[in-house]
Amino acid sequence: MLLGLFAIAAFGLTLPATKIALSDLDPVFIGLGRAVFAAVIAALILLWSKQTIPTKAQFVQLSLVALGVVIGFPVLSSWAMLYVPATHGGVVFGILPLATALVSVFIGHDRPSRSFWLVSLFGGLLVVSYALIQGAGSLHIADLALLGAVISAAIGYAVGAKLSLYLGGWQVICWALVLALPFISVPTYLFAPDSFLDWSSSTYISFLYLALISQLFAFFAWYKGLALGGIARVSQTQLLQPFVTAFASAVLLNEVVEAHTIVFIFLVVGSVWLGKKMPITQSSSHND
């Protein structure tokens, strides 16, 4: 649980750090560049620790993790931060635990109850309602990007958590980063700034945070925590992430956290908490 709390605290700072980095950098470069930097470190760690190369089937799963948390989530969330406050993104990301649970249903053998699906639908409607209120009655395209980021992260979390039981927690994110490196290097170069010397100090710190913490070491703690304590139990720490993001946004970005935003955070988190209390049974016959 402590590992999960550490990881969620780290993930909660991702959107504010992205918002800061956007003052000097293109969102695509932030999303992919952080992964390139992290992949180099990950490759060195894998070489130093002499890890066994994953099987072909595991590489297929790792490709899903890479698409989710190495490419999809970083790029979509970085782009969305151009248009909406980090606190706004934190509310939308509040639905991530339920999204992860839903993905786990499709890749696992769980059979959620009707009440689980109803609560999940309610949580989703809350997020859409908040986005509509913030957008004066219409969804901003950034909200679609945020929802895409949620789906991407949910896939990466669920598949990665399952894979961590066999490969180990930190090995999953390291292999996913290395697997993605050949595909993200060229677009990272194309969207790179003309000079790396003109960045502000806050941009340097934010980018390093995103690369080393959000993209790499926080996943060490996250996947290890899920493997040790169980996915269902440790993933409940995600309930705190919207609050961490809101607090960090207020402190680091001077964003005004409005009363209705706090209300929606509590409502979304409450729906996730209820969803995790709803019964989920396991299929009687399956093959791992």
Query: What distances in angstroms separate CA 225 from CA 31, 90, 173, 286, one per listed residue?
Result: 25, 22, 14, 25
Domain contains 65: yes
Domain contains 284: no
Domain contains 283: no
- Please report the pLDDT score of residue 37 as a whole number: 95
Domain contains 286: no
pLDDT in tens, the chain (288 residues): 889 889 989 998 999 999 999 999 999 999 999 999 999 999 999 999 988 899 999 999 999 999 999 999 999 999 999 998 888 888 788 778 778 777 877 776 656 677 777 777 777 777 777 767 766 555 678 888 999 999 999 899 888 888 888 888 789 999 999 999 999 999 999 999 888 888 999 999 999 999 999 999 999 888 888 777 766 667 777 777 888 888 888 889 888 777 777 887 787 777 767 766 766 665 544 444
Domain contains 66: yes
Domain contains 220: yes
How many structural domains are present in the chain?
A: 1
- Supply the range of the domain harboring residue 22: 2-278
Domain contains 185: yes
Domain contains 288: no
- Please report the pLDDT score of residue 215 as a whole number: 94
